[in-house]
């Protein structure tokens, strides 16, 4: 709700829960992702999930994976820090 006005947002996604289409008040927006999760579209509503159904950080656009343990940067295509809990050693 915005004031006394009710706003309806329709979203469509794929099997991975990535949001591919958003329509707010009849204005459609298509969203295409790179293989690493980056997209150029401005989503209608920061509360919408993004690539693979993950919630991007509204300030940075990074995906906070592992309950916020590691931040993934889809522009750089890598995590911002090494995984200290990796079963494969450092990294």
- Segment 33-46, tens digit of pLDDT: 888 888 876 555 55
pTM of the model: 0.67
The dihedral of CA 9, 30, 35, 72: what is its sign? negative
Q: What is the DSSP string of 41-76?
A: SPPSSTTS--GGG--B-TTT--EEETTTTEEEETTT
Whether residue 4 is contained in a domain is answered as no
Whether residue 71 is contained in a domain is answered as yes
pLDDT digits (tens, 9 = 90+) for 2-27: 578 887 888 899 999 988 998 887 88
Whether residue 3 is contained in a domain is answered as no
- Tell me, what's the pLDDT at 41? 63
Whether residue 2 is contained in a domain is answered as no
Whether residue 84 is contained in a domain is answered as no
Number of domains in the chain: 1
Host domain of residue 29: 9-79
């Amino acid at each position: 709700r915005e004031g006394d006005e009710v706003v309806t947002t329709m979203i469509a996604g794929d099997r991975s829960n990535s949001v591919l289409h958003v329509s707010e008040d009849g204005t459609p927006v298509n969203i295409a992702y790179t293989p690493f999760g980056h997209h150029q579209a401005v989503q209608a509503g920061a509360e919408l999930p993004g690539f693979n159904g993950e919630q991007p950080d509204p300030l940075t656009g990074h995906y906070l994976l592992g309950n916020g343990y590691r931040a993934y940067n889809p522009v750089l295509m890598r995590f911002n820090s090494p995984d200290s809990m990796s079963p494969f050693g450092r990294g």
